[in-house]
Amino acid sequence: MYLITNRNLCSEERYLEVIKESILSGVENIIIREKDLEYEALKDLYIKIKNKIKYINFQEKILDESLKNSIKKKENNDGFKVNFIINSNIEFFEKTDCQGIHLPFKLFLNLLGNRYNFNKNKILGLSLHKVEEVKCLEEIIRKLNIKIDYITLSHIYETKCKENLLPKGIELLKEAKKITDIKTVALGGILPSNVKETLKYCDDFAVMSTIMKSKNIEETISNYNEKIQLVK
């Protein structure tokens, strides 16, 4: 699961708590999507996030025993890793210790046109919305040998974030899978009620509003996890 942040959906205090509780509940990929913030403001927010989780106890508040065991195993083996992926801000990506960057496809193409050299040791994710974009990306990868870690495909279902746009449906996921081996992440209206069906046609999913607005993060994520287990 990928959590996409949106500080406009809650107070700053709750925003930081949501990120912490999501990590406690097993979310390993967090896309910081605060595209209106310039570098300095974004850096200040990032520092607050890092301070919030600095001394996190990964057994704290967790009631789900299977999740506790999973976290304990990770702590004992490779350590518990959380990927902070910044949305769009290249300066932030270059100057901080974030683990990756997420780019709109158009911005990605512009950067390639300017011969931008992506750091192969960091995560690179892209937002795609059409089958044609997936085909275009595959051609770029073949020509330039660029490493793309994942693509989000959206929006799959109806969502308030895209009220005036028709959803693409799972057909977008199905068609993308025929074209690419890149990790596909479904985005847009992914709920516990539809995540099982969705994951038949993609590798992972991303959530924003359902988690950012949740009053009980562990319960919300547990509801997703219960459905995910039925897919495995």
d(CA 131, CA 224) in angstroms, rounded, equals 27
Tell me which DSSP letter residue 96 carries.
S
Inter-residue contact 127 to 104 (CB < 8 Å):
yes
Three-class secondary structure of residue 150 per DSSP: strand
Inter-residue contact 188 to 157 (CB < 8 Å):
yes
Domains and CATH numbers, the chain: 2-229 (3.20.20.70)
The angle, 0 to 180 degrees and rounded to 10, between the axes of the packed helices 105-113 and 131-144 is 30
Q: Which residue has the tokens 């607050």?
A: 48
d(CA 232, CA 214) in angstroms, rounded, equals 26
pTM greater than 0.85 (yes/no) = yes
Encoding tokens for residue 61?
């508040």
Q: Note down pLDDT in tens along the chain; length 232 residues.
A: 999 999 999 999 999 999 999 999 999 999 999 999 999 999 999 999 999 998 676 555 555 555 555 555 444 444 457 999 999 999 999 999 999 999 999 999 999 999 999 988 999 999 999 999 999 999 999 999 999 999 999 999 998 776 677 899 999 999 999 999 999 999 999 999 999 999 999 999 999 999 999 999 999 999 999 988 876 6
Closest CA to 21 of 229, 218, 228: 218
CB atoms within 10 A of CB 230: 9
